[in-house]
A = this chain, B = another copy of it.
Amino acid sequence: MNTQDDIDIIVSEVGPRDGLQSIQRSMPTPMKHRWIAALAHSGLREIEVGSFVSPKRLPQMADAAEVVGEAVKLSGVTILALVPNLKGAERAFAAGARKVTVPVSASRAHSIKNIGKTPEEAVAEVKAICAMRDADPRQVRPGVEVGISTAFGCTMEGPISEDWVIALAERLAEAGADSIGLSDTTGYANPAQVKRLFRRLRRTIGEKAGGGHFHNTRGQGLANVVAALEADVTTFDSSQGGLGGCPYAPGASGNIVTEDLVFLLESMGLRTGVDIERLIAARGEIAAGLPGETLYGHLPDAGLPKGFLPAASRKRSLA
């Protein structure tokens, strides 16, 4: 849920986590610092900077504690980290993360393959993380958000029961999660389903209904964002330059592209707080840290439309 007064929508940048973990080589730690600082400088309010998983499994994320420790010094931005379990959450909070995001898969097959746990065991892990959060000595309690992955379908199981996704969200809310969002991990979601499922999520768990995490595997990413906006979703994950790509085709990025998402929202009159020129400039830090890496996105190449005004300045001119 978005509670920031000067913006309408939170764009939660996941490139330093989801993008970097999807490519084979590692970005050097000082380059990560520079990129994250440039992203924060563009006005993004949330950045997911790393993943506290085994460095054997994801060596690109081995420096997560160091990256978080540096990123939390930036002002005006909430620093998130992905954690698969209690141990990861301990490390993330110790490093200073203000919020952790825990993936819980709705697909039983995907859950077992991905984290070696059933969805029910994953809910128990979230409960343990929330207990740790409640015992956190810091003045401002850190946040625990959950993203229900494969919420719109699974490459192993195919369609996923919507009743089950909602029941899982309820259990996660009872377990103490601050917000529960829905992730289209596999690029299976369609706008009708997105609108229906997010509306039902809000009816069921109210203010704990979280954001949307869409992939662009089949080109439907921003179409799904429009549908989610119809269901009053106010937080969206995206990755600068669609970093991390997609195993499929040229142009078929994995995560939706932050530049195109911000342009979509701002052109609709929805304030993101992001300065598009600065956001585009931040792409240079990826080019510096990962020379030759393919970046995606239409807006950076097409440029802004003639006479384009960001949402905030249009609102000011109406005031």
Contact = CB atoms under 8 A, between A and B. Distances in A.
A106 to B, nearest CB: 15
10 contacts: A153-B305, A187-B305, A190-B264, A191-B264, A192-B269, A218-B260, A219-B264, A220-B260, A248-B302, A249-B298
A219 to B, nearest CB: 3
A25 interface: no
A301 B268 contact: no
A304 to B, nearest CB: 9
A252 interface: yes
B307 A159 contact: yes
A155 interface: yes
The binding surface of chain A is classed by DSSP as loop
Interface centre among A154, A193, A218 (most CB of B within 10 A): A218
Given A223-B226, A307-B153, A298 B190 contact: no
A316 to B, nearest CB: 17
A267 interface: yes
A69 interface: no
A219 B153 contact: no
A188 B157 CA distance: 39
A296 interface: yes
Contacts of A260: 218-220
Contacts of A188: 305
A251 B248 CA distance: 11
